[in-house]
Structure formats: structure tokens, C-alpha cells
């Protein structure tokens, strides 16, 4: 009997690890198994980490209604193209002119595009998010089935990133979707595209604008930015709207000849044989039509939204105009 009690006591002490699994995170045990197998993490450390994770209903509510899904273009634009954001962009450019010039020379991305992305993403670092990254990614990985595989992958990347960069796993804060730093990189993008642009031995896109500038420029170059090429041009349509062209998506896939056949006029498009994408934006008095080139598509790789890319493009133009006054 004594030996039986000793055995039961030992078993009880062996169980707490499983009991500590956060009950708010379904399938957490399977996820931990995967991370341990793939990356060699310590199981007990992960159990302890996820025991401290807080599921946030506000995150689930936020991802269900992003601004670009519910606002027409003329309202969406007004969020980002404002005097304050233009002025902030000019100030950021002046304070980081040398770094922006270096990034433009090295990667081919104009300074105003880099500045505008920082302006749209975080208002030049003024709003980098208020959710712990571990909470955001865990909430979406385990409690948002429509995109659970994506966020579980990003959660794995975050765990590996914190190990690579020797960062805290609990302290970093970001957006409701887990985007981080001045340029709002997801963990996989951080690992793949962030650069140590000031050569101090660390990729810091949280508080170092030099690394943030270089990382954004590198991201755009890797995603197809063409040095010296324009971004978008207005289109003029005659007759019915060619819906088949509008439905082709953001990637440039339509020849200029096909556009001419469909009665799409391109009054200020530079000569060339590159393919284009036709898209529309809703203004107060109806639709306006644009032709996007490869550089427009490159911006949409940062955020897969034509409205996002156009906000960046138009804010960039306003910033450059104000900067050169």
C-alpha cells in the first residue's frame, strides 16, 4: 500500500505540465508538439509562456472588420492623406535624409514611398500598436479558424525570431494582427526581409529608424520594385466598364493592346511594353479608374489592398511636394 501511495504521488507530480496548458487556446498541445519537434524548443518553457497568454476579444472583433472592407475609397483616403500626416512625413524625411538617400541609392525605392509607408503604417512610429504580439498571434492562431493556419505559422516565426534576435517573448507590442515595429512587419517578413542597415549587428525595426527604412526598401525591392519606373496612371474608359479586366486582380496581367481594344485610354502612360492592371476606386461622385504598373503591385505585396497602395502613393506625392517647397 505504501508503495502504491508513493507511485500515485509521483504520478500527481508528473501531471501539472499538462494541466497548465492554457484552456483558452484549443489545440495548443499539438502546436507545442510541432514547435518542439521542428525547432527544438523546451516544452516546459512553452507551456509556461502560453499560460501567460491572454485571449483578446477585441482582436477577434478588429480582424472581422478591417477599414478597407467597409469604407469607400474617398473615406479611406481621408484617414491617411491629412495635413498632419504630410507634415509628419516631411519632418521624418528631414530627420532621416541621409539614410533615405542611401536606401534609395541601394534599393531603387524613392524616399517618399518609404516615408509614406511608415506614415500609413504607424504614423512614423507614433502608433505601433497596443497588443502584446504573443497575445495577438495566439488569439488568432487558436481562436480565429478562417485564418488559423496563417497565424499559427506566424506564431512559430515569432517564437523563432525572439530566439534569433534575443528578444523577450512577452514584452513586444504590435497591431491586432501581430504586425511589429515602425514598418509593421509580420514575424515571417521580419525574419526574411528586415536588414541591419546601420551595421550595428542587430536588426531593430522597433526603435531604429535606420533599420526600418532599409527593411522597407529591401522588402519592396525583393517584391519586384523597378528602379525609376512610375507607379500608377489614370485611365479613361469609353462605353461600358470592362468588368473582365477589373476582375483580374492586382497583379499586372493585361497588355496595352488589349486595353486599347477594350476602349481604355491611357493618356499619360509612358511608352513601354509592360503589362498593367486596371482597377477602380469609389469617389463621392462615382468610380474612377487607374492603371497600376509593377511598382503599384510591389506596394500591394506590403498590404494586399488597392486602397492601401493608392493611399501610400498619394501620400508619398504630397510629402515630396511639401518637402521640396
Average pLDDT over residues 64-75: 79
Phi, psi of 51 (to 5 degrees): -65, -25
Q: How far apart are CA 133 and CA 39, in angstroms?
A: 20
C-alpha distance from residue 309 to each of 115, 117, 193, 293, 299 (Å) = 13, 9, 19, 12, 6
Q: What is the pLDDT of residue 67?
A: 59
Q: What is the pLDDT of residue 69?
A: 60
- Which of 322, 309, 324 lies closest to 86, judged by CA? 322
Q: How far apart are CA 11 and CA 215, in angstroms?
A: 51
Secondary structure element (H or E) that encloses residue 321, with its range = helix 306-323
Do residues 221 and 108 touch, judged by C-beta distance below 8 A? yes
* pLDDT tens digits along 85-105: 999 999 999 999 999 999 999
Average pLDDT over residues 191-202: 96
Q: What is the pLDDT of residue 66?
A: 64
Split at pLDDT 50, 70, 90, the class of 3 is: low
Residue 281 neighbours by CB under 8 Å, 6+ apart: 73, 287, 288, 290, 306, 307, 310
pLDDT of residue 5 exceeding 90: no
pLDDT of residue 265 exceeding 70: yes
253 lies in some domain: no
224 lies in some domain: no
150 lies in some domain: yes
Instruction: Using only the alpha carbons of the chain, give its radius of gyration.
Output: 24
Residue for cell digits 525574419? 191
101 lies in some domain: no
Split at pLDDT 50, 70, 90, the class of 14 is: very low
- Looking at residue 180, the DSSP 8-state letter turns out to be B
Average pLDDT, the chain: 93
DSSP SS3 for 22: coil
DSSP 230-284: --EEEEEE-SS--HHHHTT-SS--B-HHHHHHTTEE-TTPPS----BEEEEEEET
* pLDDT tens digits along 27-64: 999 999 999 999 999 999 999 999 999 999 999 999 98
216 lies in some domain: no
Of 104, 112, 121, 154, the active-site residue reads 121
Residue-number span of the structural domain to which 142 is assigned: 22-61+130-188
Split at pLDDT 50, 70, 90, the class of 70 is: confident
Q: What is the pLDDT of residue 240?
A: 84
170 lies in some domain: yes
Q: How many domains does the chain have?
A: 1
Instruction: Name the more confident of 227 and 5.
Output: 227
Q: How far apart are CA 259 and CA 273, in angstroms?
A: 12
pTM of the model: 0.90
Instruction: Name the more confident of 19 and 43.
Output: 43
48 lies in some domain: yes
The answer to whether residue 121 is catalytic is yes
Length in residues, the chain: 325
C-alpha distance from residue 163 to each of 157, 160, 186 (Å) = 10, 5, 16
pLDDT of residue 68 exceeding 70: no
pLDDT of residue 11 exceeding 50: no
CATH of the domain at 39: 1.10.8.350
DSSP 185-233: B-HHHHHHH---TT-SS---TTT-HHHHHHHHHHHHHHTT--TT---EE
180 lies in some domain: yes
Amino acid at each position: 500500500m505504501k508503495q502504491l501511495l508513493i507511485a500515485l504521488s509521483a504520478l500527481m507530480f508528473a501531471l501539472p505540465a499538462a494541466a497548465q496548458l492554457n484552456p483558452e487556446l484549443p489545440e495548443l498541445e499539438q502546436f507545442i508538439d510541432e514547435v518542439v519537434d521542428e525547432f527544438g524548443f523546451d516544452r516546459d518553457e512553452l507551456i509556461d509562456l502560453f499560460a501567460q497568454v491572454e485571449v483578446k476579444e477585441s482582436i477577434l472583433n478588429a480582424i472581422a472588420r478591417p477599414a478597407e472592407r467597409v469604407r469607400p475609397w474617398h473615406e479611406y483616403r481621408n484617414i491617411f492623406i491629412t495635413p498632419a500626416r504630410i507634415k509628419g512625413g516631411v519632418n521624418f524625411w528631414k530627420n532621416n535624409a541621409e539614410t533615405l538617400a542611401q536606401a534609395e541609392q541601394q534599393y531603387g525605392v524613392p524616399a517618399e514611398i518609404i516615408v509614406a509607408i511608415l506614415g500609413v503604417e504607424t504614423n512614423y512610429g507614433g502608433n505601433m500598436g497596443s497588443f502584446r504580439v504573443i497575445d495577438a498571434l495566439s488569439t488568432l492562431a487558436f481562436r480565429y479558424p478562417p485564418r488559423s493556419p496563417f497565424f499559427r505559422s506566424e506564431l512559430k516565426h515569432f517564437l523563432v525570431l525572439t530566439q534569433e534576435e534575443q528578444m523577450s517573448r512577452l514584452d513586444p507590442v504590435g497591431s491586432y494582427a501581430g504586425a511589429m515595429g515602425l514598418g509593421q512587419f509580420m514575424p515571417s517578413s521580419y525574419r526574411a526581409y528586415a536588414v541591419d542597415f546601420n551595421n550595428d549587428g542587430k536588426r531593430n525595426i522597433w526603435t531604429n529608424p535606420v533599420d526600418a527604412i532599409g527593411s522597407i526598401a529591401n522588402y519592396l525591392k525583393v517584391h519586384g520594385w523597378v528602379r525609376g519606373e512610375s507607379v500608377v496612371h489614370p485611365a479613361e474608359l469609353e462605353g461600358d466598364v470592362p468588368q473582365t479586366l477589373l476582375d483580374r486582380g492586382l497583379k499586372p496581367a493585361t497588355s496595352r493592346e488589349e486595353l486599347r481594344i477594350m476602349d481604355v485610354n491611357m493618356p499619360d502612360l509612358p511608352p513601354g511594353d509592360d503589362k498593367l492592371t486596371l482597377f477602380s476606386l469609389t469617389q463621392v461622385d462615382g468610380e474612377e479608374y487607374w492603371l497600376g504598373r509593377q511598382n503599384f503591385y510591389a506596394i500591394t505585396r506590403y498590404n494586399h489592398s488597392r486602397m492601401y497602395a493608392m493611399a501610400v502613393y498619394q501620400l508619398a506625392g504630397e510629402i515630396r511636394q511639401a518637402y521640396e517647397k
